[in-house]
Amino acid sequence: MTAQNLPYEPEFEQAYKELASTLENSTLFQKKPEYRKALQVVSVPERVVQFRVVWEDDKGQVQINRGFRVQFNSALGPYKGGLRFHPSVNLSILKFLGFEQIFKNALTGLNMGGGKGGSDFDPKGKSDNEIRRFCVSFMSELCKHIGAETDVPAGDIGVTGREVGFMFGQYKKIRNQWHGILTGKGGSWGGSLIRPEATGYGVVYYVEHMIQHASGGKESFAGKRVAISGSGNVAQYAALKVIELGGSVISLSDSQGSLVLQGEEGSFTPEEINTIAAIKVERKQISELATQAPFSSKFKYLAGARPWTNIAGRIDVALPSATQNEVSGDEAKALIAAGCKFIAEGSNMGSTQEAIDVFEAHREANAGAAAIWYAPGKAANAGGVAVSGLEMAQNSARVNWTSEEVDSRLKGIMEDCFKNGLATAQEYSTPASGILPSLVAGSNIAGFTKVAEAMKDHGDWW
């Protein structure tokens, strides 16, 4: 797929190959061979913006970072996707995220295109004033390329409500306009209720449908042991929703290590999750809690380790909710050995291709509920961008919906994501009798075909 004159972009190429391989292995190109051209077109961004960000630290020294915005596809609506501030940010990672975002947004049923952006700036260890000065400089350039009807960024790793507020303020000053040009805004100035919770809640709502389908309606989250990675918004709210639905949360983690339940009984409590949330606001590590009560007696801390291979007893559900490629092929095998039946990505591209191959091979070799069932991030974690889309709608109409209304719409969108992927898999990737359909194939094909048809109508390919 990579042209010889282009740099090696491993993350983007992984995302492309994951989509392309499922299309190739389905009957889509047999039934509609013209879609091969659509795949070539959709894999090239419509526009890539790259710029320098010069800002001053608290010592008065000038610092320089790189800023990016990948405006990948606008067939279904304005570009929509988060901004990530993290030292690892580069064009390959943002292209992978933007590419995934195209099809994720398509699956929500809302009028949103796909994009992604950010900077290699690291907010950790920076003062509020340093972060503000960086955000002002970053938005001073980005504001030339975005708008309510053009491109509406949101937050992502390293971009919380604080950063969104600083960037929104600078956009308003320069453009002299109050537009809904960022989502994840403060509740008193245009933000939507349920937005912080949306990705975590959404992945749990999605898995609810997986459990109900696989069990013929006989099972729910009640009694399930759920392993979760991460400790940011996605992990926190997924954990709280799992507990609300009767499940047990047996792990959380961050970039430095994991907190894992000791023994086979018990769960994180909402109070313990809220304690973790509080230290994350202060940009501290969960290792600081590992030696404090009640954490020290209830959990073991595993420095530098992910939770998947370190949990005592069975795992019923796994929710990778930290970052890309956090489940390897060996860890996929360990999850299956631990009895895991459902894995759904709260993070983007949370599983390596090797892990996906392990999950899919197990699904194909085992009937129904005996198999592990994998749901890709583009479907399972679409709740966050879905509520961002609902925030855009509220901004456009100058109205505010209740949390109950937003949550109800979120539940409906996640149900539609699941059913659409399921039906599409049954049509284009028909499983053998008694085998669960491939949600990765169904979600990829459903998102791709919707975008491809819109592009064809616009004359982007024919």
Give the residue numbers marked as catalytic.
116
262 is in an annotated binding site: no
Element spanning 67, H or E: strand 62-73
**Running DSSP on this structure, what letter comes out for residue 351?**
B
Rounded Cα distance between 407 and 186, Å, is 18
Rounded Cα distance between 227 and 185, Å, is 30
61 is in an annotated binding site: no
274 is in an annotated binding site: no
388 is in an annotated binding site: yes
Rounded Cα distance between 80 and 386, Å, is 10
Q: Which two tokens stand for residue 120?
A: 């290699």
101 is in an annotated binding site: yes
DSSP 1-60: ---TTS---HHHHHHHHHHHHHHHTSSHHHH-TTHHHHHHHHTS-SEEEEEEEEEE-TTS
User: CB–CB of 70/95 below 8 Å?
Assistant: yes
80 is in an annotated binding site: yes
Largest Cα–Cα separation, the chain: 68
- Measuring CA to CA, which residue among 49, 57, 167 is closest to residue 116? 49
User: Strands 257-261 and 317-319: what pairing?
Assistant: unpaired
Q: Which two tokens stand for residue 356?
A: 């996906």
155 is in an annotated binding site: yes
CB environment 196-223: b (16+ within 10 A), e (fewer): bbbbbbbbbbbbbbbbebbeeeebebee
Identify the residue whose tokens are 């999750």: 273
**Running DSSP on this structure, what letter comes out for residue 327?**
B
The residues pairing with 81 across neighbouring beta strands, listed in sequence order, are 153
Q: Give the full edge-to-edge strand order of the sheet including 47-56.
A: 47-56, 62-73, 114-119, 79-85, 151-155
Feature table: binding site for substrate = 80, 101, 104, 155, 388
